[in-house]
Structure 1
Amino acid sequence: MLPKKEIGQDFLNLFYHELVDFDLEHQNKLNLFILKIANNRFAYDELINELYDNIITFSLSRHELDSFKNSHGGKKFIAARDKFRDYTSNEGELGEVLLYCFLESHLEAPKILTKLEIKTANNDYVKGADGVHLLKLNSSDFQLIFGESKLDSDLKNGIYDAFKSIMKFLDYKKNKVRFETNLINSQLIKESVDDSTYDFLKKIIIPSANEDEYNIDKSFGIFLGFDIKVDDDKKNLSNAEFRRYLRETTKNSVLSSVKTIKKQIEKKELWGYTFYLYIVPFTELKEIRKDIIEKLTT
């Protein structure tokens, strides 16, 4: 039995799905989601309202959530909120939250753990994947999805940084994959699951070649947030014209980066891995990411 997904379709309803499972070859997929546009601006307030609930299941393990089952909902939110770094120095955790939401709601890959939930203090820095999800392909084939999120005003810089981080993660000399797998196993022991569920998950995540019952491959979920520039004269377009302009401009910008993504996979010889990319544009990214985290955590 797979863990329960916590993020549903309501999250996806906040976005225009501009590119749907765009084929990057070798089973790699790219999805472009554009936040709803109203009155010639992105509906950030609606996103924040949705994330108030989502950061609880993102930040807290199932064991922690179970410990709050008889408590008022506000206690769960406070516990989740307190794990975030201070918004003034928080440059990446918004991307981690959004990647978690997309992997659960769109890819339907439930969370195994997130980097944030194993922090013991909000100023901790936990190395490794931003999160780990489990995707069921069929009754015997599964993928363990390691998350990597990057927020960069320049989309191509974000792509380079994401693949640079992935290569560091796959550095066999440093045994980061083995460390992450052991971490998953140790966290599963702490989770609020019964013995049969634990045994099932362990068989999937750490399969035995002798049993040949389950196959598990490693894959990567990548979230890329970038800046879409809007000239002052475009802000004066009618609402309908502005929506068309921004959606089309963003789509063209992302499509122009497809070659860069494919080249990174080829250059780094990552053909045996599957990549699920989620791209979302922002306006004034540097300021808005701090503003969103500030409103979520203060």
Structure 2
Amino acid sequence: MEHLCVGSYVRIMTSCTIPAERKFDSFCEKLMISLCKDGAKAFSYTSADGYEVSYSYPNFNKIHSSSQNLPTEVMQMALTKDARAIERYFITIIIPAMEEARKKNAVLALKSIILKDHAIADNTQLGAISSLTKHELKSKNEFVLSEFLTDIFIYAIAKTDNTIEADFTKSIKKDYSSAYSPMTDTITLYEVTKPKTKASIPLTSKGTFNKVFTPISSECLSISATHDLQIFCLKFDDYDFDYHCLWKHLRNNIGYYVYSRRLIKQYMEEDEISALAYDAIAHIKELMAKGHLSSGNELGELLLYIFLEQVLNAPKLMSKVEFSNHGGLFTSESVGIHLLTADATVPFNQIILGTSFIDGDLQSAIDSAFSYAQKLKNRKKDERRFVESSIFAASFPAEVYNQLEAIILPTEANANKPATAFGLFLGYTLNGVSSNGKTIDDYQTDVREQLKQDILKQVPYIESKIMQYGLDGYSLYIYMLPFTDADEDKKNIMDKLLQSGGGMS
């Protein structure tokens, strides 16, 4: 008789991995590590008498062969650890190890076994993250992959007997999931990642992002809204960050950040596009001299623009500098407004209000950015009123504005205006990594590992700020970047970009 237990879960999941991961012992270990503290490299638990018990492959073999039940302490780990933290592990470690063509097979196989398992009553609650009973599962054909796999894993660990129906469990071989391939078109999967986006209007920024920045890690937040939380690193110049490469990328984009699409089009028509950066730099310096721009955070504002355009694929509507070009007719607290058009479970459009801070201390940057995001939330009607104004219409060529108007001011009776979302850029000083006695490769590896720990460590703190400021219902797009010395570097980089000081060598 078919039976859901830890062993059958492990074997089904292993049968759906890429070939290099298709080993029962090692993949069982990988799944079990999800119950440990974040960052654990091996599975262990604390016994009732206080001893630390570590598992080896013979232990994992007994689990996936249904030779023994898990200790009570391990079952409690599944029940007491935050389910969203386990889900984050699944998103970053387990799901990437699955073969793309077999993800649906895993869901179908688990669903089939649960429905055929007579030990599970129809009213049994299977979900720790999302509410799901066996009865509801019978007619369920749409699944958030990370939620479903996490929920069933927690249930199998904490609520099932792993020693009964051992013959069935051991009958699940590495080709088991292939039997479900003919049925994959009967279900739909959604994965909790950043939304798949399509630019509704052309992006303005230029250059290849990946020649300047390296993506290091992404994390999942315990909020219901769509979000993206990623940490990046500048390319290296031996033991240093390549600030020269960053400076060139900023120089190539500053004109597109400063000026409206209508003015950029005018530069192109007059064959003056080569003067765009020169004029933009002069314009910013003039605004700063007149006190129309507050100084100190210009680098963060410019980087937020680049990240929202080149990572999130959300084109700029207007930058903070553009707001200042209208003689105070319109003021904004946002450092930039962008438009996101996304494919998701339900496709959506969002107006993204931006905030950015670069601070030596990462938590201080988080504090400032979220405090400012709350200010934007409180005056979002004023911020959004701009996109319905004549100033906004005058900033775009007619053909682009017509595209925008259909999105921002829809005429269809059943169409909704774009929801409000928030974009945050967080710059901080890298700490905890010394280059002393290390090769270049070893040092760069250590930096990347430190950044993974930096973002992982801040997830609970970011989530606390989301709740503190009532932002849990909004979509948040958060991008982090370390500097050697954030306070000094942000000044030097902008001095060089604006040709207003010693700058960087």
Q: Runs (4+) of structure 1 moved beyond 6 Å? A: none
Residues 96-127 of structure 1: per-residue CA shift (max 9 Å, x gap): 11111111111111111111123249xxx964
Name the % identity.
28
Which segments of 5 or more consecutive residues in structure 1 lack a partner in the other structure? none
Q: Letter of the 1:92 partner, please give it.
A: N
The counterpart of 2:340, out of the listed 105, 126, 135, is: 135
* TM-score computed with the length of structure 1 as normaliser: 0.87
1:188 shift after superposition = 2.7
The residue aligned with 2:208 is 10
Residues 225-272 of structure 1: per-residue CA shift (max 9 Å, x gap): 0001266x5244210011011111122122111111001112222222
The residue aligned with 2:456 is 255
1:141 shift after superposition = 2.0
RMSD: 2.5
Does the CA contact (< 8 Å) of 1:140 and 1:215 recur in 2?
Answer: no
The residue aligned with 1:79 is 279
Does the CA contact (< 8 Å) of 1:133 and 1:144 recur in 2?
Answer: yes
Aligned partners of 1:206, 1:91: CA distance in 2, in Å?
A: 35
The residue aligned with 1:219 is 421
The counterpart of 2:393, out of the listed 189, 196, 203, is: 189
Matched, 1:23 2:226: no
Does the CA contact (< 8 Å) of 1:205 and 1:216 recur in 2?
Answer: yes
Aligned partners of 1:194, 1:132: CA distance in 2, in Å?
A: 19
1:132 shift after superposition = 0.8
Three-state SS of the structure 2 residue aligned to 1:257 is: helix
Q: Letter of the 1:66 partner, please give it.
A: K
Residues 23-82 of structure 1: per-residue CA shift (max 9 Å, x gap): 113232211110011210000001111111111111111122122121433431122112
The counterpart of 2:300, out of the listed 75, 95, 99, is: 95
Matched, 1:296 2:497: yes
1:150 shift after superposition = 0.6
Number of matched pairs = 286
Aligned partners of 1:106, 1:268: CA distance in 2, in Å?
A: 25
Would the alpha carbon gap of residues 140 and 24 (structure 1) be closer, same or farther in structure 2, given more than 3 Å must change?
closer
Q: Letter of the 2:430 partner, please give it.
A: I
The residue aligned with 2:356 is 149
User: After the TM superposition, which of the residue ranges 111-120 and 280-289 deviates more from structure 2?
Assistant: 111-120
Which segments of 5 or more consecutive residues in structure 2 lack a partner in the other structure? 1-198, 500-505
Equivalent runs, 1:241-280 vs 2, <5 Å: 241-280=442-481
Q: Letter of the 1:242 partner, please give it.
A: Y
The residue aligned with 2:111 is none
Q: Letter of the 1:285 partner, please give it.
A: A
Q: Letter of the 1:72 partner, please give it.
A: E
Does the CA contact (< 8 Å) of 1:31 and 1:279 recur in 2?
Answer: yes
Does the CA contact (< 8 Å) of 1:112 and 1:134 recur in 2?
Answer: yes
Q: Letter of the 1:160 partner, please give it.
A: D
The residue aligned with 1:177 is 380
Three-state SS of the structure 2 residue aligned to 1:112 is: strand
Q: Which has the higher contact order (CA 8 A, sep 6+)?
A: 1
The counterpart of 2:246, out of the listed 47, 69, 78, is: 47
Q: Letter of the 1:182 partner, please give it.
A: R
Does the CA contact (< 8 Å) of 2:253 and 2:277 recur in 1?
Answer: no
1:90 shift after superposition = 3.3
Matched, 1:119 2:319: no
1:91 shift after superposition = 1.6
User: After the TM superposition, which of the residue ranges 280-289 and 6-15 deviates more from structure 2?
Assistant: 6-15
Aligned partners of 1:61, 1:38: CA distance in 2, in Å?
A: 34
Does the CA contact (< 8 Å) of 1:111 and 1:134 recur in 2?
Answer: yes
User: After the TM superposition, which of the residue ranges 285-294 and 68-77 deviates more from structure 2?
Assistant: 68-77
Does the CA contact (< 8 Å) of 1:83 and 1:116 recur in 2?
Answer: no
**Higher strand proportion:** 1
Aligned partners of 2:265, 2:425: CA distance in 1, in Å?
A: 29
Three-state SS of the structure 2 residue aligned to 1:168 is: helix
Would the alpha carbon gap of residues 62 and 207 (structure 1) be closer, same or farther in structure 2, given more than 3 Å must change?
same
The residue aligned with 2:126 is none
Structure whose CA Rg is larger: 2
Q: Letter of the 1:55 partner, please give it.
A: I
The residue aligned with 1:60 is 259
Residues 139-183 of structure 1: per-residue CA shift (max 9 Å, x gap): 962011111101111111111111111111222xxxx32222222
Would the alpha carbon gap of residues 239 and 82 (structure 1) be closer, same or farther in structure 2, given more than 3 Å must change?
same
